[in-house]
Structure formats: C-alpha cells, structure tokens
Structure 1
Amino acid sequence: MKMRQDDWHRRKRYVETPGGRPIALIDSGGNRPALLMLHGFSDTSRSFATLEPFLSRFRLILPDLPGHGASVLDEGMRVDDFATSIDRLVERLGLEDIALVGHSMGAMTSIELAARRRHEVSALILLSASLRPDFDAESPISRDIRALGDPIDPSGRFLRDWYACSRPVDSNFLSKMKLDAAAMPAATWQGILDGFNETDLRHSASCVTAPVLCIAGSADPLFGDPHRQALASAFQSVRSITLEGYGHNPHWEDPEKVSALILSFLSEVGRSEPSP
C-alpha cells in the first residue's frame, strides 16, 4: 500500500481548543471508531503516514503536538503540557470512545491522557515508550541538542543521526520528516529535552484502566530493555511485544507488521468494527 505524504500539509486543518491554542491535525472523518495517534519528539503527524494505508477502517485523528509541525506551543513543553493540549482537543471534538496510539514522546503523552480519560480511552497502544526518559546531560544526544542553533540544517549530521533507523526506510519519507524537524526552533528542542527530566509516568500508568499493547524494537537506542521491563509491570492489563532487530521507529521500519499487530490487538479488545 502506498502512503500519502506529498499533500500532507494541505490535508491539515485547525481546531480551536477550549482555553488553548489551535491544533493542526488530519482527521479522516466519518462515523468509524476513532483512532487518535500521537507522534514523537521533533516529528509531526506525518510520522503515521506509514500506517495510514493499513488503518483505513478507522477514523484517524492525527494532530501535530504543540510546537511541532503546524501547531504552535501552548502552555509548556513537558509531557504533562502536551497531554493537557490533547485533552482539550478530545473535548473539542467530542470524542467519547477512543483508541490511542502513541510513539515515543507521543506514547508518554498517551499514557498521561489515558490516565485522565479513563472513561473515554478503551485501548492504548504504545510504540517505543518510556515511563521515565533518562537523557543524561552528558549523553551524546543531550549534548547535540544543547548545541543546536537556528537554522537547523535538515541534511546535517545531527538529523541524519537522529533519524537513523535499524532497517531500511523510504528515503523520500525520511527527507520530509527531517524538513519538518528542522523547522522546529532549537529553543523548542532544548525546552522539550528539559521537560523530560521532569517526566515520571509511573503513577499515571497505574491509573490507566484500558488494555495496553506495548510494541518496541530490541535495537532501540533510546529506550532499551529496562524501559520495556518497567512498562510490562506498570499497567493493570498489558501485553508486550519486542520486535527483534527493530529500532526506535518500528512503524517506519515495517509499517505492515506493526499495523497487523495494532489491528489484531484492537480486534481482541472489541475496537475493530465500525459503530452501528
């Protein structure tokens, strides 16, 4: 299946949220079950262009998180702040029965949102997640982000390394992801990095009542085995799948396989059929 990405920006619309700033999103519409998908740090809703062709039975709601893509910053740059913004979006769209999919920082945001919206979130799917992201100040990633200045070069070493994958990924897709990431100011990169130091989702995870699926790659350079083990014991109902040889972006590296895992899980928890 071919992903739609050349017209990605033109497909976005803006939704005014109660008490907050507008959020840019793609909404496939219709009366199908809603699948709200939250992307990772420095990405945009385009992150899920790889999965979109396989998930057409759902109403896909793909926002740009605040400070990313076409959504401006709202209240702050912590995971808790992003969850507040998406909570407002859920209210504005009147969503009452949601399956949540989150990748990396979007997975963290999804955990917090699922804890707040226990009556609305019926399934939670986490790709490359962490409860406590630990980016040490002296780690190469932290040092590189601290050294960023504007304008960020989309073809420079930093974004080449940042978007390195363990398996082949469509080069045209990755080039567009790099352009989107380079448009984010260096100060936003650095502010979000600071926010990770304040992130601890263990209590939020314990409050999630929806069934949870965790998908991760065994070669994830950011969130390795200790993070996967913590997730496996954090929720009331959880299934963990580790994909051997996959990295931090399994939904880019093998969208068909990841989509099949998502669809199977949603079918098991009764979220695969359109509402009557």
Structure 2
Amino acid sequence: MGSEVRKLRLATGIEVPCFIDGDPAAKPLMLLHAWGESFESFDRLAPLLAGFRVYAPDLRGQGDADKPADGYSLAEQAADAAAILQALEVPRAFILGSSSGGYVAQALAVDHPESVAALVLVGAPLSLRGRPAFADEVEALTDPVDVAWVRDSLSWFPLLHEVPAWFIDDRVDDGTRMPAHVWKSILGGLCSAAPPTESGTIDAPTLILWGGHDHLLSLADEEILAARIAGSVLKVYPDAGHLVLWECPERVAADAMEFLGALG
C-alpha cells in the first residue's frame, strides 16, 4: 500500500500531520518521536515494520505540527496522542515511543489505557524529573534557533554506530523548525511531570529496549521501569547508546515485530 501524510484536526484544538503507511486492514502501530524531532525520525524504521498499519504523527510544536504558546505538559502531550488516534478513528493501537516519545507513550498508557494495546519503549526514561545538564543551554535559546547549536546539541547523545549523514541533517532540520519557546516548554513539561509509573499503573504488554552505553538513562532505572510494568520484557543492546532508534533501526524493527506479533 502507498504511504500518505494526512493533516489531522484534533479535539485538543491543534492541527498535526501524520505519516500513514501499510495495509489499512493490518494492526495499527503508532510511532511517537522524541523531543526535538519529527515523524521523519522514523524514516529508517517505518519501512521495516511490515504487517502493520503505521501511524507516525508530528507532535505538538514539532515538525509541521501547530506550535501554540502552551499545551506542552506531559499529560497534554499524552492527550494529543489519544486525540490523534481518535481523529484517525483508531480506537486501540500498539504504541512505539523513542526516547521522550516513550515517556509520552507511558503517560498515554496510564491516562488513556483503552487506547493502548501494547508498548514498545525504545531508550525511554523511567523518570525525567529534575533539571538536566543541558537545560541552561535550552533556556538561553532565542529565535531563530541557531543551526550550529542544534547540530552541536546532538553531541549530548554519543553515537556508537555509523548513522547516515542525511539522517543527521534531517534531525538538525527538525530542531531548527522548532521555535525557542517550544524547545523550552516541552523540556519543562517533561521534567516537571510525575513519572507515569509513579502516578498510575501500566497494564499493557511492554517491551523495553535500552542501549548498554546510554549515559542519560541507567540500567538500574530501566530495571525499575520493567519491574513497575507487570510482565514487561527488558532487552539490552550492549553496543548502543541512548539513541537506539538512530543506531539500530533494523534490530528495533525485528524485536518490535517479534514481540507484537506474539500478542496475536
């Protein structure tokens, strides 16, 4: 089936684009991108997800989505994700979230459990409470956001595998499309929120993928995350860093399809 990008007007009042691919009769799988990215961050993953109907939206403030002044709390981001499924007339879907997109996925599973059939959390945090080391840099941003700063910010997450230059360039483009207030508001919303697994219970079957050289998220935290989600599976990629999706799209696709396919 051919792919398309559909504009969606959400019940939450904003408009977002959503990349759609795969057989309309296949099981739905929604992909949630990380802070500062867009649905194009799944360009190397989506073609590998054969057998699923893939939905990959740009989340509020990012990519080509509307960029309002507010609405960037974790709960509001999860509400947007639920509204996207509603606008697509998809009552329930598998959810794959990368990095902070996996945090939004957890909040979606807690706040809107009826929408979530299963989770795949790729380099996703247990908690983002507090102020990360790079917060001062983000707080100092002004418009237009500097291209060199966005490219330099990628060094916060070292890569152990070669990633295509075009993919890196696209992520820099993602970052420069975000106004300074969005950079700040999303980070603030993530860091001020109660971790989803502390505020509620996730009952959905869950696969957790974590890079063994992740210097942002610890193995201890990932083990706690797995322990808080009954029956979840934690798989470590010993040769990857935080950006598992960027480094290992083939492995992520294979593991996600095996896990989700076994759910029937």
Q: With the length of structure 1 as denominator, give the TM-score of the two structures.
A: 0.87
Which of the residues 84, 103, 126 maps onto 2:121? 126
CA distance in 1, matches of 2:111, 2:154: 36
Instruction: Measure how far apart 1:59 and its partner are.
Output: 0.7
Q: Which AA in structure 1 matches 2:37?
A: D
Q: Calculate the aligned-residue CA RMSD, in Å.
A: 2.0
CA distance in 1, matches of 2:14, 2:109: 21
CA distance in 1, matches of 2:108, 2:215: 26
Paired position in structure 1 for 2:143: 150
Instruction: Measure how far apart 1:218 and its partner are.
Output: 1.2
Instruction: Measure how far apart 1:180 and its partner are.
Output: 1.3
Which of the residues 100, 104, 107 maps onto 2:102? 107
Instruction: Measure how far apart 1:117 and its partner are.
Output: 3.2
Q: Which AA in structure 2 matches 1:122?
A: A
Paired position in structure 2 for 1:17: 10
The answer as to whether partners of 1:159 and 1:178 remain within 8 angstroms in 2 is no
Deviations 1:182-239 (A, max 9, x none): 11011211112221232221235x5222110000101112212232122111112200
Instruction: Measure how far apart 1:39 and its partner are.
Output: 0.4
SS at match of 1:119: helix
CA distance in 2, matches of 1:117, 1:172: 36
SS at match of 1:12: strand
Query: Aligned residues, how many?
Result: 258
CA distance in 2, matches of 1:152, 1:18: 30
The answer as to whether partners of 1:135 and 1:142 remain within 8 angstroms in 2 is no
Q: With the length of structure 2 as denominator, give the TM-score of the two structures.
A: 0.90
Which of the residues 214, 231, 234 maps onto 2:225? 231
1:188 equivalent to 2:169? Answer: no
CA distance in 2, matches of 1:153, 1:108: 27
SS at match of 2:145: coil
Which of the residues 176, 179, 187 maps onto 2:170? 176
Paired position in structure 1 for 2:60: 66
Paired position in structure 2 for 1:210: 204
CA distance in 2, matches of 1:202, 1:35: 22
Paired position in structure 2 for 1:37: 31
Listed as ranges, the gaps of 5+ residues in structure 2 are none
Instruction: Measure how far apart 1:264 and its partner are.
Output: 1.0
CA distance in 2, matches of 1:226, 1:188: 31
Q: Which AA in structure 2 matches 1:230?
A: I
Paired position in structure 2 for 1:261: 255
**CA shift in 2, pair 1:71/1:253, >3 Å:** same
The answer as to whether partners of 1:20 and 1:85 remain within 8 angstroms in 2 is no
CA distance in 1, matches of 2:263, 2:154: 38
The answer as to whether partners of 2:106 and 2:197 remain within 8 angstroms in 1 is no
Q: Flag as ranges the 4+ runs of structure 1 deviating above 4 A.
A: none
Paired position in structure 1 for 2:81: 86
The answer as to whether partners of 1:144 and 1:158 remain within 8 angstroms in 2 is no
